[in-house]
């Protein structure tokens, strides 16, 4: 994405991209739609092969960088060659995180991080009709939706006491759980898997509580782990991710980093909006036009078979520290919540409706004072044009 932005800005610098992938760029959210059968192979990829040639972006697929030599401004490639650089951007992302569960090496256990993972899963679900998802976060529920669309028998098992525990509060999660179960997806929360059972292939899962559940195909959706090995070997500062400053510089001034592998002001985002914001900032900084990356307000929208769930900013403040205002229409499947900090809007949950969600997102980004409207803004028929008139 940074390479595209550089060309869109009119930069004529030489751009080379090295990747261990054998496919050109694809947005990871597209994998879910492809897995569900709602997206064709061609539409997986936003740019045709000819686009890279037209933009003079040299993409070396299946050619991973195996070592960085910052002092020499060189990268060492998989085939042993070295290439010089003036500025280097690390964007090698993250790996799937695996919880400490015995037997994950057995056949029938997958994660979904790459297109190859997606293809392997798609092939397996044609053979085995029952799928168990370990993880009730955004990715886990998206995968559940994809398999449900294909007619598979789906279980979602969540370690924590509720679904989307980062993005929703107790009320919102309970509503989401009931609506997902109404679609035929079984949901179990507060269950810690300790072992994948079976001889060579998974046959069941055992849990800390002593319960055992049958399983044919298991997908681990337990978050990400920034891929920092390359940076560590090069002597760059790392913690949970590659540590960067406001300008996405690493501890070496000619090496920048963006995306799921970075730790910015102590935070790892792991969300697409943050990666895009970082890509834009990195394009400017690589060219010496300093543009600070000030962080990204967490914003996630999940669609499960027509159910829309939007989570924005701070949604689970410590008790008593913020003002929280809610609206619930259980029958209509609508739940709204806003979080105020000293009259300013800092977070919101918007479930079951899109109306007003984009406006709320902008108000959160601006930390707008909505105290005049706080008791009515979550109501079903609130007129958002009033807010525009008051600006």
Same domain assignment for residues 123 and 213? yes
* Domain end marker among 255, 286, 317: 286
Q: Is residue 107 domain-shared with residue 214, that is, in the same domain?
A: yes
Are 175 and 106 contained in the same domain? yes
The answer to whether 213 and 205 have CB atoms below 8 angstroms apart is yes
CA 379 to chain centre: 30
Count the domains in the chain. 3
Where does 150-234 have alpha helices with state H?
170-182, 229-233
Residue 297, domain member (yes or no): no
pLDDT tens column, 222-274: 999 999 999 999 999 999 999 999 999 999 999 999 999 999 999 999 988 99
Nearest CA among 146, 131, 157, 152 for reference residue 215: 131
Q: Is residue 41 included in any domain, yes or no? A: no
Q: Are residues 261 and 195 in the same domain?
A: no
Distances (CA, A) of 315 to 248, 265, 298, 337, 339: 27, 20, 10, 8, 7
In a shared domain, residues 202 and 230: no
| CA count, 13 A, side-chain hemisphere, 320 | 0
For residue 160, the enclosing domain spans: 98-220
Where does a domain end: 239, 254, 286? 286
Is 246 in the same domain as 318? Answer: no
Q: Are residues 244 and 282 in the same domain?
A: yes
pLDDT of residue 66: 97
Say if 40 falls within a structural domain.
no
Give φ, ψ of 119 to 5 degrees.
Answer: -65, -40
- Would residue 176 count as lying in a domain? yes
d(CA 160, CA 172): 15
- pLDDT of 388: 61
As a whole number of angstroms, the distance between CA 377 and CA 230 comes to 48
Question: Measuring CA to CA, how many Å separate 171 from each of 160, 163, 175, 382?
Answer: 15, 11, 6, 21
Output phi, psi for 153, to 5 deg: -90, 115
Say yes or no: 102 and 202 in one domain. yes
113 shares its domain with 191: yes
Q: Write down the pTM of the prediction.
A: 0.90
Within 8 A by CB and 6+ apart from 120, the residues are 110
Residues 166 and 211 in one domain: yes
Which pLDDT does position 389 carry in this prediction? 44
Q: Domain containing 275 — which CATH number?
A: 3.50.50.60
Low-confidence ranges of the chain (pLDDT < 70): 304-306, 388-391
Specify whether 208 is located in the same domain as 236: no
Q: Please report the sign of the dihedral spanned by the C-alpha atoms of residue 295, residue 141, residue 115, residue 202.
A: positive
Examine the domain organization and report whether 102 and 188 are in the same domain: yes
Residue 29 counted as domain residue: no
pLDDT for the residue numbered 390? 47
Q: Is there a domain that residue 330 lies in?
A: yes
CB 158 within 8 A of CB 143: no
Q: pLDDT of 70-104, one tens digit each?
A: 999 999 999 999 999 999 999 999 999 999 999 99
Q: Is residue 32 part of a domain?
A: no
Residue 33 lies in a domain: no
Neighbouring C-alpha atoms within 13 Å toward the C-beta of 299: 19
CATH of the domain at 352: 3.30.390.30
User: Scanning the structure block, which residue is given the tokens 């020499």?
Assistant: 72
Using a CB cutoff of 8 Å and minimum separation of 24, what contacts does 76-79 make? 77/18, 78/20
- Among residues 220, 242, 267, the one where a domain terminates is 220
């Amino acid at each position: 994405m940074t390479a595209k932005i550089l060309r869109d800005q009119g930069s004529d610098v030489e751009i080379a991209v090295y990747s261990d992938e054998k496919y050109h760029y694809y947005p990871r959210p597209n994998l879910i739609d492809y897995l569900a059968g709602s997206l064709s192979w061609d539409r997986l990829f936003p740019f045709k092969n000819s686009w890279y040639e037209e933009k003079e972006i040299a993409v070396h697929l299946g050619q991973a960088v195996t070592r960085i030599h910052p002092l020499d401004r060189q990268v060492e490639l998989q085939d042993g060659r070295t290439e010089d650089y003036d500025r280097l951007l690390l964007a090698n992302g993250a790996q799937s995180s695996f919880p400490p569960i015995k037997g994950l090496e057995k056949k029938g256990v997958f994660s979904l991080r790459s297109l190859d993972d997606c293809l392997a899963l798609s092939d397996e679900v044609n053979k085995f009709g029952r799928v168990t998802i370990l993880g009730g976060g955004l990715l886990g529920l998206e995968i559940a939706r994809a398999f449900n669309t294909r007619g598979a028998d789906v279980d979602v098992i969540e370690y924590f006491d509720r679904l989307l525990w980062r993005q929703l509060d107790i009320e919102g999660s309970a509503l989401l759980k009931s609506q997902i179960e109404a679609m035929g997806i079984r949901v179990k929360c507060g269950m810690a898997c300790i072992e994948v059972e079976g001889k060579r292939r998974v046959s069941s899962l055992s849990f800390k509580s002593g319960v055992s559940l049958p399983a044919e195909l298991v997908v681990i959706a337990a978050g990400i782990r920034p891929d920092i090995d390359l940076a560590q070997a090069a002597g760059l500062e790392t913690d949970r991710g590659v540590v960067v400053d406001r300008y996405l510089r690493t501890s070496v001034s000619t090496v920048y980093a963006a995306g799921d592998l970075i730790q910015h002001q102590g935070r790892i985002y792991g969300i697409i909006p943050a990666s895009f914001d970082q890509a834009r900032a990195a394009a400017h900084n690589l060219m010496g036009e300093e543009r600070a990356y000030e962080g990204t307000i967490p914003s996630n929208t999940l669609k499960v078979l027509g159910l829309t769930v939007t989570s924005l900013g701070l949604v689970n403040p410590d008790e008593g520290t913020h003002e929280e205002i809610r609206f619930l229409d259980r029958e209509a499947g609508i739940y709204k919540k806003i979080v105020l900090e000293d009259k300013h809007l800092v977070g919101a949950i918007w479930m079951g409706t899109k109306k007003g969600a984009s406006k709320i997102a902008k108000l959160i980004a601006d930390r707008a004072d909505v105290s005049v409207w706080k008791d009515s803004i979550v109501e079903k028929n609130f007129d958002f044009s009033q807010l525009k008139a008051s600006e």
